[in-house]
Amino acid sequence: MRRKLWYQILALGLVVGLSFISPIKGVWQNIIAGSAHYIGQKSQGVVEWIGIFNRIEELDKENIALKKQVNELQAQLAADAEIKQENDNLRSQIGLVNSQDAQTIISARVIGRTPKTYIQTLILDQGFKDGVKTGYTVVSDGFLVGQITEVTTTTSQVELITSGRLMVPVVLQNSRASAVLSSTLEGIIIDEIPTDTEVQVGELILTQALENIILPDIPVATVREVIKRKGDIFQQVVADSPIAFNQLEMVMIMGNND
């Protein structure tokens, strides 16, 4: 056993001694240097890959942040466009109603409709606290929409001229004949026009003052058809409004303080 141990010590000493001999020393140095270079290259490659993965993770986070900013900007642009549209509508409405005899003018947004195909009423986001009163006139683009019939603290209800339940005194602009506006499934009907009145297709129909129910001189519709029946003392007119009642978003509420 001791002899084997001595042999191992001798062999180890021989290897160490030979390593200091110039030719063999060079071989050892090359082996060691090559190993170190290889290990260094591998280590550098690993470091580079780790750097790439870190950069990819950073880019992914930046991409998520940029997408969030883009979505926020798009939402803001949409909101700005909606505000601009509402402002344009309000400017148009105000320009059209300035000539009317109204002491109160309130802009309102449509927030509800009668849940029927044949729309009869609208719900607005302005109520008693905003100055709205029962009987006030509602217009859009200068034309009559209807009349306020119910008011709560924060909302109000509009009975449309197309509902069939609203009777409005009107006057034909050219012939100056007084009549009454009602509505049927056929459209807006103007009744009680004397048969001797010359009514022209396309003639404008305006509201007429009557006990301050509806403000006067507001355009309502234009004559589409004149109906005369033999033996009747009154003729009838079918009229068209330019208002798309089922697409209304903003309206103006007008009234006086009486």
pLDDT band at 216 (very low <50, low <70, confident <90, very high): confident
Instruction: Judge whether residue 217 has pLDDT over 60.
Output: yes
pLDDT in tens, 69-123: 776 676 666 555 555 555 555 555 554 554 455 578 899 999 998 776 566 899 9
Distance between CA 1 and CA 8 in Å, rounded?
11
Of the segments 47-61, 134-148, 198-212, which one has the largest average pLDDT value? Answer: 134-148
- CA dist 249 → 82, 141, 217, 221 (Å): 11, 12, 24, 20
pLDDT tens figures, 222-234: 999 999 888 888 8
Query: Residue 197 gets which letter from DSSP?
Result: S
Handedness of CA 212, 100, 208, 243 (dihedral sign): negative
Q: Classify residue 83 by burial, with Cβ atoms within 10 Å: 0-12, 13-18, 19+.
A: exposed
